[in-house]
Amino acid sequence: MAAQVSLALLLVAALALLLWLSCAAAEDAASGGARAAARHRAKAERHLKRLNKPAVKTIVSPDGDIIDCVHVSHQPAFDHPFLKNHTIQKRPTFYPEGIASKVESHKNSPSITQPWHQNGKCPEDTIPIRRTKAEDLLRASSAKKYGRKKHRSMAKPLSIDPDLLNESGHQHAIAYVEGERYYGAKATINVWKPKIQQSSEFSLSQLWILGGSFGEDLNSIEAGWQVSPDLYGDNNTRLFTYWTSDAYQATGCYNLLCSGFVQISNEIAMGASIYPLSYYGGSQYDISILVWKDPQEGHWWIQFGNDFVLGYWPAFLFNYLAESSSMIQWGGEVVNSQLEGEHTSTEMGSGHFPEEGFGKASYFRNIQIVDGSNNLRAPMEVGTFTERPSCYDVQNGNNEDWGHYFYYGGPGRSNNCP
């Protein structure tokens, strides 16, 4: 009986879809622009099918996200030709030496969590994946471009090409180290909800593990939090990862929006919201992110907080990073899409300048690198960089409690940033 009812419902739904499609088709016939829109929609449908894998269980998050629990061996990574015969690593073979003890690092910061946890858990041997919706793809200029970075967006602290930097509209306030071989990086990042002026802009706070030159073949692994209305359809603060092996051109993407990253955690969904958020003049919250290269297998692992190993980027996705990283960056990045006229009022960090200090300005603390002996240690000769300090600034420091730290961010448009 139940089966008959659901079959009938399915038929009704199919008929409704057909009707909708034929109406849509009739309308589209009106103009070439509309036909292009229909093609865009059809491509989006096909792309959705590739992105959203069959779920063992589905959890609806209070923030509107749909979280699919997908069997680990059905995750997007295995669409990658190099991963066809890959055996999933259940855990890293090595951790960096010198990770602070749990007791110490839990001292003053309650754990950050994800809202979908309120409504369920993903079973063992599955991973939580934020489902991509049709409207997500329709916001992108093309379905294929969804989840990719639109521009070259890398700050280049040394031998900067100012025209190129200013042209791309991406602005940074960062700390960085270079000149050695790095095998990982760690930071504790203060979490905020910066205001975004236009939906095509974003504001993020992250670490970058970079390899190669800033030419066509830059390798990059990135992780942190971001607010990106075009990517997610809202202004929520979300945990994210990103990778590319060709300077943001053909390879790589955010989260699991392409094949490559192998997730093992059944508790953390990349691209899902995180809370609680810091409050100006009030409670402060931060997240810890550690990325390190397994000295045995060569994969780049990522850990969120003290408890969650999310997964890894297999070494063979990269050329330079297959060996080591040549530069680490930590900090904020925003897009200023107003290339002519007024500067955007999109905020970075808390939207306040570093001078305001703790509780008001956003910070990174305990920034560390992993060296060639697999030791987590303080970075040496930390540089800072920002394109326009009157819009977004950065100030670093060093003390016993916070190790190497910096405050960064700003409000964007103001009298001093017209």
Site residues, ligand NAG (CB under 6 A): 84-85, 160, 162, 165-166, 195-196, 229, 234-235, 387-388
Give the shortest CB-24-to-ligand NAG separation in angstroms: 24
- Measured from the CB atom, is 373 or 416 closer to ligand NAG? 416
Residue in the structure block whose two tokens are 């953390």: 268
Give the shortest CB-138-to-ligand NAG separation in angstroms: 14
Q: What is the distance of C-alpha 156 from the center of its chain?
A: 20
Residue 253 neighbours by CB under 8 Å, 6+ apart: 147, 148, 242, 243, 260
Give the shortest CB-272-to-ligand NAG separation in angstroms: 16
Give the shortest CB-89-to-ligand NAG separation in angstroms: 17
Element (H, E) at 19: helix 2-28
The rounded distance, in Å, linking the Cα atoms of 303 and 379 is 19
- Measured from the CB atom, is 84 or 107 closer to ligand NAG? 84
Give the shortest CB-393-to-ligand NAG separation in angstroms: 13
How does strand 286-293 pair with strand 300-304? antiparallel
- Measured from the CB atom, is 170 or 404 closer to ligand NAG? 170
Nearest CA to 214 out of 291, 320, 302 is that of: 320
The rounded distance, in Å, linking the Cα atoms of 254 and 232 is 11
How many angstroms separate the Cα of 60 from the Cα of each of 129, 251, 272?
Answer: 12, 30, 12
- Measured from the CB atom, is 113 or 166 closer to ligand NAG? 166
- Measured from the CB atom, is 49 or 84 closer to ligand NAG? 84
The rounded distance, in Å, linking the Cα atoms of 370 and 347 is 31
Give the shortest CB-32-to-ligand NAG separation in angstroms: 30
DSSP H helices, 75-171, are: 102-106, 134-139, 162-168
- Measured from the CB atom, is 4 or 87 closer to ligand NAG? 87
Residue 233 · residue 135 · CB < 8 Å: yes
DSSP 381: S
Give the shortest CB-87-to-ligand NAG separation in angstroms: 11
Active-site residue list: 222, 333
Residue 277 · residue 260 · CB < 8 Å: no
The rounded distance, in Å, linking the Cα atoms of 294 and 298 is 5
Secondary structure (3-state) at 414: strand
- Nearest residue (beta carbon) to ligand NAG: 162
What is the residue type of 327? M
How many residues can be counted in the chain? 418
